[in-house]
Amino acid sequence: MTFKALAAAIISACSLFFVIGRAEAETINLVGFGDSLMAGYELPPDEAFPARLEKRLREKGHDVTITNAGVSGDTTADGLSRLDWSVPDGTDGVILELGANDALRGLSPEESRKNLDAMITRLKERNIAVLLAGIYAPPNMGADYENAFNPIYPELAEKHGLILYPFFLDGVATQKPLLLGDGMHPNAEGTKRMAENFLPVAEKFLETLSRK
């Protein structure tokens, strides 16, 4: 092999390595951080919301991975305590969905707000973007509790300049064919519907990440 041919081969190999490395570098790494609604209660991993959403985003041409960091039963306080080790370095964005268990247990809305605020602040300090998924308090908690709890998400989104998905169970809550027997958690069809409804907001979120 001549020197020129060898040099050309080396340049070609380096170019290929660069293209491959660049493609890998451009993969967007998201974490779905939440409770049983994120974890996929009683569902196999590939039917949980993060897997459903990742599949739909990839079908739309987005190079993205979504790690499922949902833990059934978690409150906002639980989430705050495990945030740092549940969201690894190298994460580009977090879909933050917590608060349902706070509301079901009638925990202080002010404490829920403080915990969510602290999580958002901590993620921003790590240069990790946040897409905030809201939750509504159950009607049986009463109007006073609803009035204190429900504004948490839009107000935090405004404070921190976040994209907000107002209600994580939009189109699924109260729909029996889309819920498990407990009437609260989505079944396989429910998570499929959730991912489809969430898709436009997720794509908008990815657009902001690509400009970072």
Query: Is 109 among the domain residues?
Result: yes
Query: Is 18 among the domain residues?
Result: no
Query: Is 139 among the domain residues?
Result: yes
Mean pLDDT of 164-173: 97
CATH number at residue 108: 3.40.50.1110
Q: Helix 76-86 crosses helix 109-125 at what angle (to 10 degrees)? A: 10
- Please write the tens of the pLDDT for every residue from 30-72: 999 999 999 999 999 999 999 999 999 999 999 999 999 999 9
Question: How far is residue 59 from each of residues 41, 53, 62, 110, 187, measured CA to CA in Å?
Answer: 25, 10, 7, 40, 22
Query: Is 195 among the domain residues?
Result: yes
Active site residues: 36, 182, 185
Tell whether pTM > 0.75: yes
Mean pLDDT of 136-146: 96
Give backbone dihedrals phi and psi of 190, rounded to 5 degrees, phi first.
-65, -45
Beta-sheet strand order (sheet of 93-97): 64-70, 28-34, 93-97, 129-133, 163-165
Question: How far is residue 18 from each of residues 8, 10, 75, 89, measured CA to CA in Å?
Answer: 15, 12, 44, 23
Query: Is 3 among the domain residues?
Result: no
Query: Is 20 among the domain residues?
Result: no
Mean pLDDT of 79-101: 97
- Give how many domains the chain has, as a whole number: 1
pLDDT at 154 over 50: yes
pLDDT at 93 over 90: yes
Query: Is 5 among the domain residues?
Result: no
Query: Is 95 among the domain residues?
Result: yes
Specify the range with the lowest mean pLDDT, choosing from 2-16, 66-80, 92-106, 198-212.
2-16
Take residue 167 and report the two structure tokens written for it.
Answer: 């209600």
Per the structure, the complete domain to which residue 199 belongs is given by: 27-210
- Please write the tens of the pLDDT for every residue from 171-207: 999 999 999 999 999 999 999 999 999 999 999 999 9
